[in-house]
Amino acid sequence: MSEFDYDLFVIGGGSGGVRAARVAAGDTGAKVALAEMDRYGGTCVIRGCVPKKLMVFASEYANVTEDAAAYGWSHSAGSFDWASFRGKLNSELDRLEQVYRDLLKGSGVASYDARARVTGPHEVTLSTGETLSAKHILLASGGHPVRPELPNANLGIVSDDIFHLDALPKSLLIIGGGYIACEFACIMHGLGVEVTQYYRGAQILRGFDDEARGLIADAMRERGIDLRTGTNIVEMAPASEDHTASWTGTASDAAMGADVKQRPALQRETGDTAGPIWVKSTNGNERVFDTVLFATGRDPNTADMGLEDVGVKLGRRGEIEVDEYSQTAVPSIYAIGDVTDRVNLTPVAIREGMAFVETVFKGNPTPVDHALIPSAIFTQPEMGTIGLSEEEARDREPVEIYCTSFRPMQSAFAGRPDRVLMKLVVSVETRKVLGCHIVAPSAGEMIQLAGIAVKMGATKEDFDRTVAVHPTMSEEIVTMKTPMRTA
């Protein structure tokens, strides 16, 4: 009989933790338990990827009637019913959470609806008062959005809150320039909200290919999002009647607005949220918004878990430090997913969980492969990317850049100005495709398939030998014969 209550105790019921728990139990017969203090499914299923993508789908219907008319259909614009959508959204999330619970139960994993703290190298204590022992402990507690250190920051909401709004605000200020900020700017604008976005940097989507993120910024402004780079928030407070009555805009507001093409406002249900908020920006402008959304980063969920007391090392932002096998400084304790702040993507957390099971329970030491991970940003248009940006690649070695930007057939016929981008970054020496970047509708779907070729080490000539599928946007990936430039 084992000296421990469990072979494995997992803290966190998100995608990575659930996968590791059920595979360890189902494939190896290990005795496994999992504790989750909130809802099963974690950030991705409950307050991230899944509800966000459903909101993306909802927002993309805004232009359907207008486009259909260009193709000869006669329809009148309807209205967006937030309450109806939110009800269906919550029902879907409830269904998915039950799927996660059933997967654990079906694999024989014991579930504890409680908060867990690590109280020893082989011990966890639950908020219910129970203390349990385990040969191995896996930390998969995820992360959470953070607010800036700013007086009255509590007046704003974070990404977790946006799915629970009683009604859509009439006006929304988004602070941040990362993918979460940009995705929600496009979503909320598509649902009929007047969106302003402040980002302190020179261009949104820092870390991605410059040409690709520049096209997305242009597209966001063209669609009517008031995107202001080099701008941050310095003060915020509940708006008084004086604030509301006195604000009429500034010269810089008017100048920005002149460059923004406004489409007809989408009819929708609106309502007050927490009340109007007065905001002052770094350039001195003062505005009043119904809602302020902070999309200024996420921190790992490691506070008050007892980790440092037992010897687990944490980084500057509270991230758990691990080696290539996801092992912490305490040999019996491992960590995967966003709590390690390596690559914060759901499929990566799942891969890390699988590698953990291979290493610890199947006797097959498997380091985590974080190279060449395809990813998508669900802005409008989407961005799909894998590998090195042009800027990263040219700092490493001589490269050729194959690139084309054009108006795709479907939107050009409808009279929309939308442009797409297809880009390959190619090593001069090896001819390998070092990076592929796509900005286009359904770019996420395209990059999944292009990612296979890049991961396999395909060369530019391999792409050239592939016959194009015509007429498609993606055919341009295999028809670009002459480099636009070398770097």
For the domain that residue 233 is a member of, what is the CATH number?
Answer: 3.50.50.60
State mean pLDDT over 226-254: 74
- For the residues 403-430, what does the mean pLDDT come to? 97
Instruction: Place 1 in a pLDDT band, splitting at 50, 70 and 90.
Output: low
Residue-wise pLDDT tens digits, 109-139: 999 999 999 999 999 999 999 999 999 999 9
pLDDT of residue 261: 34
Specify the pLDDT at position 77.
78
Mean pLDDT for the stretch of residues 230-244: 87
State which of 294, 315, 340 marks the end of a domain.
294
Give phi and psi for 410, each to the nearest 5. -65, -45
Q: Is residue 94 part of a domain?
A: yes
Beta strands 171-175; 291-294: pairing state: parallel
CA–CA gap between residue 208 and residue 391 (Å, rounded): 9
Domain shared by 328 and 420, yes or no? no
Quote the pLDDT of residue 240: 84
Q: Are residues 282 and 380 in the same domain?
A: no
The answer to whether residue 338 sits within a structural domain is yes
368 within domain boundaries: no
Instruction: pLDDT band for 310, please (50, 70, 90 cuts).
Output: very high
Between these two residues, 258 and 229, which has the higher pLDDT value? 229
Place of tokens 């489409």: 263
357's tokens: 């099971």
- Residues 114, 16, single domain; the answer is yes
351 lies in the same domain as 409: no
**For residue 267, what pLDDT is reported?**
36
Q: 314 in a domain, yes or no?
A: yes
- Does 306 lie in the same domain as 281? no
- Locus of tokens 């202001």: 228
Q: Is 470 an active-site residue? A: yes
Is it the case that residue 305 has pLDDT exceeding 90? yes
Name the domain boundary from 243, 276, 294.
294
**Total count of domains within the chain:** 3
Do 103 and 160 reside in the same domain of the chain?
no
Residue 48 near residue 145 (C-beta atoms within 8 A): no
Q: Are residues 342 and 397 in the same domain?
A: no
Tell me, yes or no, whether 148 lies in a domain: no
- Residues of the chain with pLDDT > 90, as a percent, come to 90
Average pLDDT over residues 402-422: 97
Q: Residue 234's CB: how many other CB atoms inside 10 A? A: 12
Count other C-beta atoms under 10 Å from residue 295's C-beta. Answer: 25
pLDDT of 274 reads: 61
| pLDDT level of residue 241 (50, 70, 90 thresholds) | low
For residue 369, being part of any structural domain is answered with no
Return the pLDDT at 248.
41
Rounded to an integer, the average pLDDT of 351-369 is: 98
Tokens of residue 14, six digits: 């998100």
Rounded to the nearest integer, the mean pLDDT of the chain is: 93
Instruction: Look up the CATH number of the domain holding residue 447.
Output: 3.30.390.30
* Residue 241 within any structural domain of the chain: yes
Three-state secondary structure string covering 375-415 = EEECCCCEEEEEECCHHHHHCCCCEEEEEEEECCHHHHHCC
- Note down the domain range covering 454: 375-486
Domain co-membership, 75 together with 185: no
Residue 242, φ and ψ in degrees, nearest 5: -65, -40
Q: What is the pLDDT of residues 246-298, one digit of tens each?
A: 454 443 443 333 333 333 333 333 334 468 999 999 999 999 999 999 999 99
**Do 241 and 338 share a domain, yes or no?**
no
Same domain? For 164 and 261 the reply is yes
Q: Do 100 and 171 belong together in one domain?
A: no
Handedness of CA 123, 125, 126, 132 (dihedral sign): positive
Q: Are the CB atoms for 380 and 365 separated by under 8 Å? A: no
User: What local confidence, expressed as pLDDT, does residue 255 receive?
Assistant: 37
Instruction: For residue 78, name the pLDDT band (cuts at 50, 70, 90).
Output: confident
Please pick, among 75, 164, 243, 470, the residue that the annotation labels catalytic: 470
Q: Are residues 46 and 78 in the same domain?
A: yes
Residue 473 confidence (pLDDT)? 97
Look at residue 472 and tell me if it is in a domain: yes
**Rg of the chain on CA atoms, in Å:** 24
Boundary (domain end) residue, out of 328, 360, 392: 360
What's this model's pTM, rounded to 2 decimal places?
Answer: 0.93
Per-residue buried b or exposed e for 456-486, using 16+ beta carbons within 10 Å of the residue's own CB: eebebeebeeeeeeeeebbebbbebeebeee
Over residues 170-192, the mean pLDDT reads 98
On the question of pLDDT at 481 being above 50, the answer is: yes
